[in-house]
Amino acid sequence: MSRHGSWRTRNHSGPQLSVNNDRCKRYGTCQAEAPELFQLMITGELRYRRSVPPDQLEQAKTATRHCPMLAIVLKGVVDER
């Protein structure tokens, strides 16, 4: 089993998260920012939800911005800056 995995979701439309397994060092910042989307297991495995529900979008953006290793990519979102 790999160190990283994703929760399977049926809805693949809308924003999508991905984590670069080579960059991730499992610091847990993503879990602190978005606990409904990221879960660091006691075994060291990072699990995350690929499809981002609308009510979790801001947390996903925050987790992506605050990842110290820049390992998280959030696709399908228009940057409003």
Q: Compute the distance between CA of residue 80 and CA of residue 25 in angstroms, rounded to an integer.
A: 29
The bridge status of strand 46-49 relative to strand 4-7 is parallel
- What pLDDT is recorded for position 49? 96
Express each pLDDT in 2-58 by its tens digit. Answer: 345 655 545 567 999 999 989 999 999 999 999 999 999 999 999 999 999 999 999
pLDDT at 78: 75
pLDDT over threshold 80, residue 1: no
Please choose, from the candidates 70, 65, 66, 71, the residue with its C-alpha nearest in 3D space to the C-alpha of residue 46. Answer: 71
